[in-house]
Chain A
Amino acid sequence: MDSILLGFTTLMDPGVLGFMLIGIVAGLIVGSIPGLNDNIAFAIFIPLSFSLSPTYALALMVGLYCATAVGGAIPAIMVKVPGTASAILTAVDGHAMARNGRAGQALGIAISSSVFGGFLSGLVLLFFAPPMAAFALRFGYVENFSLGILGMASVIGLLGGSVVKGLISAVFGLLVATIGFSQQSGYPRFTYGLDNLYEGVPFVPLLVGLFGITAVLELTEELVHDRRKGIKTADMPRITDSLLPSWSMMKRLMPTWLQCSAIGNIIGIIPGAGMLMAIYMGYERSSRRYKRLYEGKPGEVEWGKGAPEGIAAPESANNAVVASSMVPLLSLGIPGNSVSALFIGALMIQGMVPGPLLFMDHPDIAWMIIVGFLAANIVMGPIAFLLVRSISGLVFLLPKHVLVPTIALLCLTGAYSDENSVFSIVIALISGTVGYAFRKLDIPHAPLILALVLGRTIEDNLSNTLSISGGDWMIFIDPVGHPISVALMVGAVLFMVGPMISGARKRLQARRQQTEMELQNS
């Protein structure tokens, strides 16, 4: 209880609250601009946060993280262009409802669902992160290495695409993380005499490049594509009805909110599972419920044609991922998704290391972040209701051909400010190009980011463990000496093997069907 009070006391500082509000408003605006997302918002704001005190900087990030997902729903509903990837399914029923003259209702449902999901997620963070962190304090080198492997395995296994590409991404990231002085002998590796690389590849420009510059390059590609094809943006519907959902609507949506928030929270805690998995699962469950209870009844539309549950499900699920993705980060030092990986950058720039030690070394900050997620979701509701009409007009205010170089300039100037060196700009440009190339080659980003974050720790823990065990690798699966490590390793194997088996099954099934069809045809 004292710790929660400590968090509230830190949060109640007017400056901290002010920066959280700035983060919320900025997040709503950034999220509402199609093509911009929470990653870009973080890439721009992390370097800026360097000059702020840790509490101000992290309050800003908490506000930003909570609000971008909500902002993403605005263009999804108004113009059927999701502001963020997490609003992709909101666009289906949300835009249909807006076209039916109920844009206000659709936006109101999206905001209230987000607030509900986000608040529950904040509670999950409050109740799960501290005990997990206390448990993680028992971990030694062996367990920490196994934990790193489990984190990587879960990210690769849950991606759903090619496991080989996921592994390539992870190994490439681990290899990049070896650049700089070796922690064991001090030998400079892959530095080629460049002083700036002795401490490793600078992390903030690396993140700015991977998230900000990659996004800028993708937006540029989209712009050139639209210009060549002569594609123009659609007209926007007007908000004529009330934004606030009625009491009966809230009662009706409560089961959807609870179900999808629970899905979002569970998915959020698993590293690598991500928002998209949560919204698809929530949407699919809600569609079944809607078809069973409402579809075909008087006054009810078809699923996908403006059903309230079609907005409530993805919005409560995506915001439920937000704070719960911070559970593994704050308790174990493993980011739950790409944005929480960027949170590491925000913490590192302030000289802090996420993980169980954060609760011991900086309890005020750790608890402020936890309590901040709860507070941000409470405050975000009224702000979003107040600003949504003005923000929805912003969608087309800034033309993309101006927006894209502005983001690039902000990101690159931000990268420069990390070490006041042009070398940081070069790193941001190179990592942005690599990130973009990965997108074009269908190589997932998530394992790369996790490997860059965990690379040094994994190597340290591995070498320390092997020196303790005299080079015996079996120490990681010693059930007597290190049962936690065994459990973590078993988990890692399951995460990796599971998708492989299910992929092989699907291929076998497809082949069988093809053979049957060929037999029928002949």
Chain B
Amino acid sequence: MHVVKRIDFWSGLGFLILGAWAFMTARGFDATSSTYPMFLAAILFGLAALLIVQSVRDPDAKTVHPESTRILLLGPGMRIVAWGGWAVALAAGGGYLLPSIVVFALIAAWVAPVRKDWRHLLVAVGLVLVVFFMFYVVFDVPLPIVDALQDLLD
């Protein structure tokens, strides 16, 4: 089995780079504050190197499976992108309600047994309004809302 197909090899490499990066960054801190993070970064680097060695030597190492990778990208990968877009819309002044409804409906439709169903939108509107009411009204959390709705609520 080829080494590059082994999951631990890649995770080891990732932590190796992270350890090296953290070490180099910590070197730039003042003397009092740098020792501890540098020490941790060096340990992380060493452990990552050990993980790589173990993955190379282990004949039964877990490998990357193409179908699992596809599921990973289609499922969790798309969700992270969708919620990331939702956060950007919130930060850009898009308000809470509309981006939430759009993202909710899209996500629900994506994994539902029947994708093209208008009820997804209806469920999204209902549940987003419930969550909005719970946080904005009951718990008094100042969720970002567009000016027009703010005027309406005032």
Q: Which of B30, B43, B109, B111 contacts A220 (CB 8 A)?
A: B111
| B40/A221 in contact, CB under 8 A | no
A94-102, A185-193, A490-498 - interface stretch: A185-193
- Among A51, A175, A185, the one with the most B-chain Cβ atoms within 10 Å of its Cβ is A175
| A409/B128 in contact, CB under 8 A | yes
Q: Which of A172, A189, A400 contacts B37 (CB 8 A)?
A: A189
| A409/B131 in contact, CB under 8 A | yes
Give the size range of A's interface with the partner. 35 or more
| In the complex, A167 has a CB within 8 A of chain B | yes
Q: Which residues of A contact B140 (CB under 8 A)?
A: 51
Q: Which residues of B contact A441 (CB under 8 A)?
A: 7-8, 11
- In the complex where A164-B50, A168-B48, A429-B80 touch, is A463 in contact with B36 (Cβ < 8 A)? yes
| B72/A168 in contact, CB under 8 A | no
| In the complex, A216 has a CB within 8 A of chain B | yes
Q: Which residues of A contact B8 (CB under 8 A)?
A: 441-442
Q: Which of A174, A402, A459 contacts B108 (CB 8 A)?
A: A402
Give chain A interface residues in 414-470, CB to chain B under 8 Å. Answer: 414, 416-417, 420, 422, 425-426, 429, 432-433, 436, 440-443, 459, 462-463
- Among B7, B71, B84, B124, the one with the most A-chain Cβ atoms within 10 Å of its Cβ is B71
Q: Which residues of B contact A410 (CB under 8 A)?
A: 131
| B79/A217 in contact, CB under 8 A | yes
Q: Which of A48, A50, A223, A425 contacts B111 (CB 8 A)?
A: A223
| A178/B104 in contact, CB under 8 A | no
- In the complex where A410-B131, A436-B76 touch, is A164 in contact with B51 (Cβ < 8 A)? yes
| B111/A187 in contact, CB under 8 A | no
Q: Which residues of B contact A405 (CB under 8 A)?
A: 103-104, 107-108, 124, 127
Give chain B interface residues in 3-17, CB to chain A under 8 Å. Answer: 7-8, 11, 15
Q: Considering the chains assembled together, what is the distance between the CA atoms of A436 and B83 in angstroms?
A: 15
Q: Considering the chains assembled together, what is the distance between the CA atoms of A220 and B110 in angstroms?
A: 10
Q: Which residues of A contact B104 (CB under 8 A)?
A: 405-406, 409
| In the complex, A165 has a CB within 8 A of chain B | yes
Name the residue of chain B whose CB is nearest to the CB of A463: B36
| B40/A401 in contact, CB under 8 A | no
Q: Considering the chains assembled together, what is the distance between the CA atoms of A148 and B120 in angstroms?
A: 49
Q: Considering the chains assembled together, what is the distance between the CA atoms of A50 and B29 in angstroms?
A: 35
- Among A216, A220, A416, A459, the one with the most B-chain Cβ atoms within 10 Å of its Cβ is A220
| In the complex, A138 has a CB within 8 A of chain B | no
Q: Which residues of A contact B25 (CB under 8 A)?
A: 190
| In the complex, B32 has a CB within 8 A of chain A | yes
Give chain A interface residues in 163-183, CB to chain B under 8 Å. Answer: 164-165, 167-168, 171-172, 174-175, 178, 182
| B127/A440 in contact, CB under 8 A | no
Write the nearest CB–CB distance from B147 to chain A, whole angstroms.
Answer: 18
Q: Which of A172, A216, A217, A409 contacts B127 (CB 8 A)?
A: A409
Q: Considering the chains assembled together, what is the distance between the CA atoms of A186 and B146 in angstroms?
A: 39
| In the complex, A210 has a CB within 8 A of chain B | no
| In the complex, A228 has a CB within 8 A of chain B | yes
Q: Considering the chains assembled together, what is the distance between the CA atoms of A347 and B43 in angstroms?
A: 32
Write the nearest CB–CB distance from A188 to chain B, whole angstroms.
Answer: 9
Write the nearest CB–CB distance from B87 to chain A, whole angstroms.
Answer: 5
Q: Considering the chains assembled together, what is the distance between the CA atoms of A227 and B7 in angstroms?
A: 25
| In the complex, A252 has a CB within 8 A of chain B | no
| A172/B123 in contact, CB under 8 A | no
| B111/A408 in contact, CB under 8 A | no
Q: Which residues of A contact B142 (CB under 8 A)?
A: 420
| B47/A426 in contact, CB under 8 A | no
Q: Which residues of A contact B40 (CB under 8 A)?
A: 171, 174-175, 178
Q: Considering the chains assembled together, what is the distance between the CA atoms of A416 and B128 in angstroms?
A: 15
Q: Considering the chains assembled together, what is the distance between the CA atoms of A402 and B51 in angstroms?
A: 39
Q: Considering the chains assembled together, what is the distance between the CA atoms of A184 and B36 in angstroms?
A: 11
Name the residue of chain B whose CB is nearest to the CB of A418: B141
| In the complex, A14 has a CB within 8 A of chain B | no
- In the complex where A168-B15, A404-B107 touch, is A185 in contact with B47 (Cβ < 8 A)? no
Q: Which of A224, A406, A425 contacts B74 (CB 8 A)?
A: A224
Q: Considering the chains assembled together, what is the distance between the CA atoms of A420 and B134 in angstroms?
A: 15
| A429/B84 in contact, CB under 8 A | yes
| In the complex, A506 has a CB within 8 A of chain B | no
Q: Considering the chains assembled together, what is the distance between the CA atoms of A164 and B48 in angstroms?
A: 8
Residue-wise interface mask of B (102-125) relative to A, using a CB-CB cutoff of 8 A (1 in contact, 0 not): 011001111111000000000110
Name the residue of chain B whose CB is nearest to the CB of A414: B135
- In the complex where A175-B22, A184-B32 touch, is A168 in contact with B51 (Cβ < 8 A)? yes
Write the nearest CB–CB distance from A98 to chain B, whole angstroms.
Answer: 26
| B30/A185 in contact, CB under 8 A | yes
| B71/A182 in contact, CB under 8 A | no
Taking A184-B33, A224-B111, A429-B83 as known contacts, 12 extra A-B pairs with beta carbons closer than 8 A to each other, sorted by chain A number, are A48-B134, A182-B30, A189-B33, A227-B113, A400-B111, A401-B109, A402-B127, A406-B131, A408-B107, A412-B83, A422-B91, A459-B36
Enumerate 17 A-B pairs (CB-CB under 8 Å) in ascending A order. Answer: A48-B134, A51-B139, A162-B54, A164-B47, A172-B44, A182-B30, A182-B32, A189-B37, A217-B75, A220-B79, A224-B111, A401-B109, A406-B104, A406-B131, A409-B104, A414-B135, A417-B135
Shortest beta-carbon contacts, A-B, top 7: A182-B33, A224-B75, A217-B76, A417-B141, A187-B33, A401-B112, A185-B32
